[in-house]
Amino acid sequence: MATATVHPNIALVKYWGKRDRDLNLPSTGSLSMTLSDFATTTSVVFGAAQDEVMINGELATGLPASRVLKHLDLIQPDRAPARVVSTNNFPTAAGLASSSSGFAALTLAALKALNIDHTPAQASILARQGSGSASRSIWGGFVEWRRGVKKDGTDSHGLHIAPPDHWKLNMVIAVVDQGQKSVGSTEGMLRTMATSPMYSAWVSSWQKDLDGARQGILDQDLEMVGRAMEASTLKMFATMFTSSPPIRYWRPASVAIQDEVSKLRKAGINCWWTMDAGPNVKVLCEPEDAPAVADALQHHVEDVHTLGVGGHPVVEE
């Protein structure tokens, strides 16, 4: 038996689209900040009477259960039946990156339970095949996921670019809706790839955003990171809006919060927004500005969380 506690990550430069579906290889590089406080804790025991997956206290069935079991098969094809118990201390599948921490925790707990020696990059490659964003949750702090060029995906894994204590940034999260999203990320990406005329522009223009965000993190230059993050976010959504049928996760409150961030910036508060596959808005700022940002967001939604930069996974036997 082994247990892993892993923080989710939020992409500052986005992953959206796959160059290989079977190996889950991305069409673009991406870069994230690991979140403090929010976490997934997953225990795995091999040698159970039969496979069983519990997610947030309930027996999982259908796709959520089969994705977990398939992931264990990938880690060890001739494995014994397993019992998996996974709990999130934050809303699941609501655009708050639960699949990033979920598949990273499952990977690390299973590797430990099976006593399989591995490097973080090898764990990241396995986690990537469960859910792409999970490749970045193998570390705390700031992580880049290299697009890679190899067909077998061995060069497409996370790279730790700065530790958790490198820069005390805050992410203020406005929960516009904690319900599960209507279109999952995987389905949304596949639809975008198949139907959006903007997709090719997205795939040919990400490198500049990634280089800008990486340099901004290394230099602790929030404006540089913020500009790259908003550019990457808006381009990702442009591909979604122009898919057929369109994918539009934004709600009126999401847009109102984007306007609020512009207003705050005009008032001299250095803050920048991003969104993912859901209506929630995440605002990046320095800790001294976080109370003012959180106050402003609270005019639009009740549920606001101020989180810092999260630490590395913790894995125990």
From candidates 5, 24, 27, 137, binder to ligand DP6 by CB under 6 A: 24
Binding of residue 249 to ligand DP6 (CB under 6 A): no
From candidates 88, 131, 137, 196, binder to ligand DP6 by CB under 6 A: 131
Pattern 135-174, ligand DP6, x by CB under 6 A: ----------------------------------------
Residue written as tokens 């990320």?
A: 185
Binding of residue 14 to ligand DP6 (CB under 6 A): yes
Minimum CB–partner distance for residue 100 and ligand DP6 (Å) = 6
- CB of 306 closer than 8 Å to CB of 174: no
Q: Which range touches ligand DP6 (CB under 6 A), out of 12-20, 44-52, 109-117, 212-220?
A: 12-20
Pattern 73-112, ligand DP6, x by CB under 6 A: --------------------------x-------------
Closer Cβ to ligand DP6, 93 or 264, answer by number? 93
Closer Cβ to ligand DP6, 131 or 258, answer by number? 131
Minimum CB–partner distance for residue 172 and ligand DP6 (Å) = 18
Q: Which range touches ligand DP6 (CB under 6 A), out of 126-134, 237-245, 260-268, 299-307?
A: 126-134
Which residues of the shown chain bind ligand DP6 in the complex (CB under 6 A)?
11, 14-16, 24, 30, 99, 131-133, 185-186, 189, 276-277
